Amino acid sequence: MKQIIFLKPVLKESLWGGTRLSEYGYSLPSDHVGECWGVSAYASSCCTVSGGKYQGRRLDDLWINEPELFGVDKEKGPKDFPLLIKIIDAQDDLSIQVHPDDEYARVHENGACGKTECWYVLDAKPGASIVIGHHAKTKEELAQMINEGRFRELIREIPVKAGDFFQIEPGTVHAIKAGTMILETQESSDITYRLYDYDRLQNGKKRPLHTQQSIDVIRTPFEPKEIRPVTCSMPSAKLTKYFDCRFYTVYKLEVEGSADVPLSGMFHTMSVIEGSGYLDGSRVEKGNHMVLTAGYGTMHAVGKFTAIVTRV
């Protein structure tokens, strides 16, 4: 039976966070909230169900004990929920960082998975930019530039605007910079190697760097990933596919009116990023995050809203 499982987000304070997540209807604990983990079964920051039959239960509990909701085989399927969906508010620059792939993480991070991720830019102030990639031609040049602190020369910085989409493969140097808000879809991993942090202090101390791990995993030379969105129009709705890989497929759904949207296969996640409406009679609005169960079939959407939809 098809179900919509609404989740209660987990909010995280950070050195670089701000207050803009309140625009999504969240009650913020401080003026330095950097992340909303909207769909998360990560052990230390797991979302709970906010209503209905499963109210109060953790997403990781549902994954283990109600596998039919997700269309997975309890014995053969992934042990852990595979996705993590965040909204990130960068009031200040995030550190320049890199993530390992699954193979490196299994060996060096106690069997954990790596981190493949992608960004949909929700908003960007005029002149905003992000870091994706670097200019070193060889591993030797990369290590030399890092060890000599030549980060301005090393990093590849590009302008960014609302509606842009970027795939961040493991081994890619990257950083979200001030004035940018993004929705991030990723493997369920929190492994980050900090390459450079602008010599900032937190509680009077510099945050630790992970120089050797970063050099180990950074792909050299950097090759930009070309994104070719494909849009399918239907009565009163548009569905744009941004990227498809073995970890996730990411879409943007835009509804204006009354639309029937087919959802097939395993479960989908949905994060409403603008507007409001109804999904099969359930009210949805900006800031809502949910799981639509496996084999959902046709979703009847009414209203005017935009959502990022992800399936595995």
Residues forming the active site: 194
DSSP H/E element including 230 = strand 230-234
- Give the other-Cβ count within 10 Å of 9's Cβ: 26
Q: Is the dihedral of CA 25, 29, 35, 40 positive or negative?
A: negative
Answer yes or no: are the C-beta atoms of 259 and 236 closer than 8 Å.
Answer: yes
Q: Which H or E run includes 39?
A: strand 33-39
Distance (Å, whole) CA 92 – CA 144: 28
Q: How far apart are CA 114 and CA 250, in angstroms?
A: 19
Contacts of 226 (CB under 8 A, 6+ apart): none
d(CA 61, CA 283): 25
Residue with tokens 């290590």: 143
